[in-house]
Copies of this chain bind each other. A is one copy, B any other.
Amino acid sequence: MNLNDITVPPASPDALPPTATVDLGIFGGGQLGRMLAMSALPLGVRCSFFDPAGDQCPAASLGPVFGSAASLPASSTDPLQKFAQSAPLFTYEFENIDPALVRSIAQHKPVMPGLASLELSRHRWEEKSLFTRLGIPGAAWRPISSLNDLSQAVRELGLPVVLKTATQGYDGKGQCVLRAPGDLENVWEKMAAQTPLIAEQWIAFQRELSLIAVRSRTGDTVFYPLVENTHHHGILSHTLAPAPRLTAALQQQAEDYCQRILQHTQHTGVLTLELFELDQQLLANEMAPRVHNSGHWSIEGAHCSQFENHIRALMGWPLGSTDCQRPTAMINLIGRLPDLPALLAIPELHVHLYGKTPRPGRKLGHLTLQADSLDTLQERMQAIGALLPEPLALIPVETKETIRG
């Protein structure tokens, strides 16, 4: 309704068809799509979703969902076509979607971030090669298609090496650590079916950090403060914002890396860069061309959340402040739902449930917690940890397990 305020440069004459019923189409109706839509609604931006789960997806209550026959009126034909007609502008919540789907829409209407960002982040070979081309340091790595490649990589990189699928990996899935020469055949047997792979030099990093960057279609960029991420069984357990012991030099280093990627891909929207910290140096691990679990803290912890800033960036509106004025923690709710009333008794706690059916290892929601000091924050995190089905992985940094997302 108030999108008269913005003009979407049509990619073709039908880029703004009379059939458009919402303002933004989102590939994926999971919790990220849901939180994007919740930030969009108060700005007058209505969303539709493309998701195979149809009306069962977390975002379903926030707009029309296309993607499964079940979710459509009997009359309708091709869900993707209906989705394409539903909006003048498109984005995605997750990079593990078939680029062909995105391309089919991108031929007619703007999809942001563009296909470049999407395809780069879908294939670790492309991603790592880009980091190298842009002079962004990272762990030494080798592309792996055969046992021969692997044994040569082991000779060149030394042990241990981390073996990862080149595509489709997330939440620690499709990863394996090769520690001893004797494991080589076993590891290969386990992973051979999932080629292409990459072998990555083991980095005994001190901690994982991530940077949430936002680039508007106007070219303006803003960055949230670096945050510290702790994983448990390969899944993000909790995030501290800003990262403890954050220095201006460290922040600058991360923003510099990110700025190179944003410029190279002409990225529009949120981009997340995961980094390893090793002796005050940052090594790029991987990028995600989207809002990210490690940015959920920003809903309450920053003036303008990663979700609202993604919407502002797509619309070409001024970007919001990324300041984090008080220590903030994000804690994932994984596998089983905790006792809600017990949680709500904790001061300055915010609960975000995604409306998903509990299942082991599944992200069902998250908590945001704030305090006046990092000490108070960590005390409260301990209290929350005691209420969670899975104990909070508050592992000392030194001994942190190094399975990387």
Contact = CB atoms under 8 A, between A and B. Distances in A.
B44 A353 contact: yes
Contacts of A61: 41, 46, 62-63
A13 interface: no
Interface stretch (A134-142, A165-173, A177-185, A315-323): A315-323
Contact of A44 (B41, B318, B340, B348): B340
Given A2-B353, A61-B41, A355-B1, A303 B348 contact: yes
A382 to B, nearest CB: 19
A360 interface: no
Contacts of A337: 1-2
Interface residues of A, number: 36
Contacts of A1: 337, 353, 355, 357
Contacts of A340: 2, 5, 43-44, 317
Interface string A25-64: 0000000000000100111101000000000000001110
Contacts of A348: 303, 321
A396 interface: no
A350 B321 CA distance: 11
Contacts of A62: 61-62
Given A61-B62, A63-B61, A318-B341, A43 B353 contact: yes
Contacts of A321: 347-348
A318 B303 contact: no
Nearest to A41: B61
A370 to B, nearest CB: 8
B339 A318 contact: no
Contacts of A2: 337, 340, 353
A347 B41 CA distance: 20
Contacts of A6: 341
Interface in A1-21: 1-2, 5-6
A344 interface: yes
Nearest to A58: B41
Contacts of A397: none
Contacts of A46: 61, 355
B344 A312 contact: yes
A103 interface: no
A204 to B, nearest CB: 38
A15 B345 CA distance: 28
Residue of A46, A321, A344 most packed against chain B (CB within 10 A): A344
A352 interface: yes
B355 A44 contact: yes
A355 B41 CA distance: 8
Contacts of A341: 5-6, 316-318
Q: What are the 4 closest A-B residue pairs judged by CB atoms, nearest first?
A: A318-B345, A44-B353, A42-B352, A318-B344
Interface of A: 1-2, 5-6, 38, 41-44, 46, 61-63, 303, 312, 316-318, 320-321, 337, 339-341, 344-345, 347-348, 350-353, 355, 357, 365, 370
Given A42-B353, A43-B351, 13 more contacts: A2-B337, A2-B353, A41-B355, A42-B365, A44-B340, A46-B61, A46-B355, A61-B62, A312-B344, A317-B341, A318-B341, A318-B345, A320-B344
